[in-house]
């Protein structure tokens, strides 16, 4: 009896691998909210030496998020056996052919070649690390999210104008520092619009965003103080013009952007 072809999966199945030695536990809530934008976290593993006290903040939150801790002893001082264990597991998971992508959570450049290897197999690689992450690892990923922005909202005033600081439990993990807004790369955006736009100078906002990410995997509107790309474009109204168009097959509207004539 011939097997029926399987229907295409609606969401990407992702393997989330966390280097506990190079990622703070304080990002966890924001981390999985971010991952949910890209697919389903089918596998969630975290690697480290759980016999010591240095990973205490991680131990308190693993159960709440159903993350499987993988024990890796530090056999030799100064050598990171955790990295090797994570890489070996990633390759094992790769060859199961069950995943559409990987989320690598670390600020360690040792995973640069792993990210490149996974992409060579046609899988999507999403990197998560601090702004100190070496550039080679950042550009080896399809998309790289700086973990500082994942906790940005935690420091915002509460609704109703009550911005009085609330005391935190003594055993709460330390807050990640709120990142300073960076300068918007308007020249890069303007050049891409020129290169990719139609005869009237317009380009669909989603297409623009995809091409920015191809050139700069770490690009994220939140790094520049905006919630999303459309807000960033609106904030640069002297340089860019935004237009909403309806009449799509799905009934929704699409946003288009072009360089404003004479804008500087």
Residues 48-58 as b/e (b if ≥16 CB within 10 A, e otherwise) read: bbbeeeebebb
Residues 247, 254: Cα–Cα separation, whole Å: 9
Tokens of 85: 């264990």
Q: Is the pLDDT of residue 239 over 90?
A: yes
Topology, domain 13-155: Rossmann fold (3.40.50)
Of 133 and 72, more confident: 133
Give the closest residue to 109 by CA, choosing from 227, 19, 223, 201. Answer: 19
Mean pLDDT confidence for 131-144: 96
Share of the chain above pLDDT 70, in %: 80
Mean pLDDT confidence for 145-150: 94
166-223 pLDDT tens trace:
444 444 444 444 556 789 999 999 999 999 999 999 999 999 999 999 999 999 999 9
Q: Is the pLDDT of residue 51 over 90?
A: no
Topology, domain 186-259: Nucleotidyltransferase; domain 5 (3.30.420)
Give the closest residue to 137 by CA, choosing from 101, 113, 103. Answer: 113
pTM of the model: 0.80
| Other C-beta atoms lying within 10 Å of the C-beta of residue 145 | 26
Instruction: Determine which helix (DSSP H) or strand (DSSP E) holds 242, and give its type and residue range.
Output: strand 240-245
Domains in the chain: boundaries: 13-155, 186-259
Residues 18, 214: Cα–Cα separation, whole Å: 24
What is the model's pLDDT at position 263? 64
Q: In angstroms, how far is CA 66 from the centroid of its own chain?
A: 20
Give Cα separations from 92 to 12, 36, 100, 127 (angstroms). Answer: 18, 23, 14, 19
85-116 pLDDT tens trace:
999 999 999 999 999 999 999 999 999 999 99
Give the closest residue to 99 by CA, choosing from 32, 35, 214, 16. Answer: 16
19-29 pLDDT tens trace:
998 999 999 99
Q: What's 159's DSSP letter?
A: T
């Amino acid at each position: 009896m011939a097997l029926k072809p399987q229907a295409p999966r609606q969401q990407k199945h992702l393997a989330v691998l966390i280097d506990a030695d190079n990622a703070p536990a304080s990002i966890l809530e924001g981390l999985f909210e971010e991952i949910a934008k890209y697919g389903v976290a089918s596998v969630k593993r975290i690697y480290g030496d759980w016999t010591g006290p240095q990973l205490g903040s991680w131990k308190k939150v693993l159960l709440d998020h159903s993350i499987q801790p993988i024990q890796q002893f530090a056999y030799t001082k100064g050598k990171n056996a955790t990295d090797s264990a994570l890489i070996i597991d990633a390759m094992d998971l790769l060859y199961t052919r069950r995943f559409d992508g990987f989320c690598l959570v670390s600020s360690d450049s040792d995973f640069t070649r792993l990210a490149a290897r996974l992409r060579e197999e046609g899988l999507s690689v999403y990197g998560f690390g601090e702004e100190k992450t070496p550039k080679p690892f950042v550009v080896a990923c399809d998309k790289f999210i700086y973990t500082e922005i994942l906790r940005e909202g935690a420091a915002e005033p509460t609704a109703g104008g009550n911005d009085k600081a609330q005391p935190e439990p003594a055993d709460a993990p330390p807050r990640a520092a709120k990142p300073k807004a960076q300068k918007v790369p308007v020249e890069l955006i303007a050049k891409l619009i020129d290169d990719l736009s139609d005869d009237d100078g317009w380009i669909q906002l989603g297409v623009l965003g995809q091409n920015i990410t191809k050139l700069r995997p770490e690009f994220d509107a939140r790094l520049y103080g905006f919630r999303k790309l459309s807000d960033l474009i609106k904030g640069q109204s002297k340089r860019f013009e935004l237009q909403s168009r309806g009449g799509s097959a799905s009934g929704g509207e699409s946003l288009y952007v072009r360089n404003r004539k004479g804008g500087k």
